[in-house]
Amino acid sequence: MAKDVKCEVNNCKYWMDGNRCQANVIYVVSHTGKSASNEHETDCHTFEAKV
């Protein structure tokens, strides 16, 4: 399991300095069903905009 999750979306409420994600759980989904061929077929559903 990854110890550090990198994120460059600095308007996410889980974003921390150093492009680190502080979410307890990361939820990634595929646009094409249960599998994906590349990163363009996925999305991070953990994202929540900073308020």
pTM, rounded to two decimals: 0.80
Using the structure block, give the residue that is written with the tokens 């399991």: 1
- What is the model's pLDDT at position 2? 79
pLDDT in tens, 1-51: 778 999 999 999 999 999 999 999 999 999 999 999 999 999 999 999 998
3-state secondary structure the chain: CCCCCECCCCCECCEECCCEECCCCCCEEECCCCCCCCHHHEEECCCCECC
pLDDT at 12 (0 to 100): 97
CA distance 32 to 39: 11
How high is the pLDDT of residue 16? 96
Please state the domain extents for the chain: 1-51
How far, in Å, CA of 5 to CA of 7, rounded? Answer: 7
